[in-house]
Homo-oligomer: A and B are copies of this chain.
Amino acid sequence: MSAPSILALSGGVGGAKLADGLLHAAGRGRLTVAVNTGDDFTHLGLHISPDIDTALYTLADLANPETGWGRRNETWTFMDALARLGGEIWFRLGDGDLATHVERTRRLAAGEPLSAIVADFAHRLGIEADIVPMSDQPLRTRVRTDEGVFDFQDYFVRQQCRPVTRAIEFVFAPDTRPCAALERALADETLGAIVICPSNPYLSIAPILAVPGLRTLLRARGVPIVAVSPLVGGAAVKGPTAKIMTELGVPVSADEIVRHYGDLLDGFVLDARDAHLREQLALPVHVTDTLMLTPADRVRVAHETLAFTATLSHRS
């Protein structure tokens, strides 16, 4: 009998790190990563999928460990030349990274769905997991702030998260649905667990769960659903999670994240630095060091998370 397959939901850096660990822990061909595309945007005429690319580069071992985005051994000749021509340079595109955007844009324009392009890229990069956009239809994250409404990357990169967040909004067409590869992963009878990676619940996981029908499909599947906390000692490891929680008026605390996910969860992986919150959580909890600084950390957190899910039965 083959090992159980795993479905992970992921945003950017932190989520991709756990997904990388899950690939090693679950075994090749046993992992599907459903990735947030709410941050996708068109820039310089190119379709850019920041979280998809972070997943691709991380699982292909091409990611830049220093920046948390983009590729290793990158060059920047394009940006230098673009600056000289007066082009927009607030979003930094490395020369190698650009190939992903140019080729994806070309194939989208030729009529291929995003999921088919990403699957082919993952295959060519030697990734032995399925990386799937949450949807082939556009669902875009907008940040409503005291200075106006911004596309996510505009808020995140150009505005550097400076404006005060009032609300997060998702804009999508009525026919938006989970992509077919994600539905297939959910229908796989060997599916053993669903893992919500340590990505921003409001900015990175919420858009995935906003895809019409997906939350219901996840709940109805009957396998344990576990989230790994994105907070370590009451603070986000990276990114604007804490700032945004504060501005939305919710306490920056792991128990608030459990409350946010609500009846979706069967269990929660809590960072050891937040172990004092354990008693306040009305669901099974595994406590461990969730900080993933090394590749070995990723595999350890993944193994512990999968072992934890194996002790749970779905509450539905």
Binding site for B on A (CB under 8 A): 44-46, 71, 74-75, 77-82, 84-87, 94-100, 102-103, 105-106, 109, 120-121, 124-125
Knowing A74-B77, A77-B96 are in contact, say whether A85-B121 is a contact too (CB < 8 A): yes
- Which of B82, B97, B120 contacts A99 (CB under 8 A)? B82
Main SS at interface, chain A: helix
**A103 with B77, Cβ < 8 A, contacts A45-B109, A98-B98 known:** no
Residues of the B chain whose Cβ atoms lie less than 8 Å from the Cβ of A99: 78-82, 84-85, 87
What is the distance, in angstroms, from A310's C-beta to the closest C-beta of chain B? Answer: 37
Q: Is the CB of A124 within 8 A of B84?
A: yes
Most B CB contacts (10 A, CB to CB) among A77, A98, A121 go to A77
Given known contacts A95-B77, A95-B78, A95-B95, is B100 in contact with A85 (CB within 8 Å)?
yes
- Bound-complex Cα distance A78 to B102 (A): 10
Check if A103 sits within 8 Å of B74, measured CB to CB.
no
A155 CB, min distance to chain B CBs, angstroms:
22
Give the nearest-CB partner of A104 in chain B: B85
Q: Determine the distance from Cα of A109 to Cα of B82 in the docked complex, in whole angstroms.
A: 17
CB distance from A15 to the nearest CB of B (A): 23
Do B94 and A77 touch across chains, with their CB atoms under 8 A apart?
A: yes
Q: Are A98 and B78 in contact (CB under 8 A)?
A: yes
In the complex, residue of chain B having the shortest beta-carbon distance to the beta carbon of A79: B99
* A99–B44 alpha-carbon span in the complex (Å): 10
Q: Which of A46, A75, A85 has the most chain B CB within a 10 Å cutoff? A: A85
Which B residues touch A75, using CB under 8 A?
Answer: 75, 77, 95
A106 touches B44 (CB 8 A): yes
**CB–CB B77/A44 < 8 A:** no
CA distance A73 to B270 in the complex (A): 51
Q: Are B102 and A46 in contact (CB under 8 A)?
A: yes
Q: Would you mind naming 9 contact pairs between A and B with Cβ atoms under 8 Å apart?
A: A44-B103, A44-B106, A45-B105, A71-B81, A75-B95, A77-B77, A80-B96, A84-B99, A84-B124
Q: Tell me the complex Cα distance, A101–B106, Å.
A: 14
Flag if A85 contacts B103 (CB, 8 Å): yes
Chain B residues near A97 (CB-CB < 8 A): 81
Kindly list chain B residues whose C-beta atoms are within 8 Å of the C-beta of A80. Answer: 96, 99
Q: Which residue of B lies closest to A89 (CB)?
A: B99
Q: Which residues of B contact A125 (CB under 8 A)?
A: 84-85
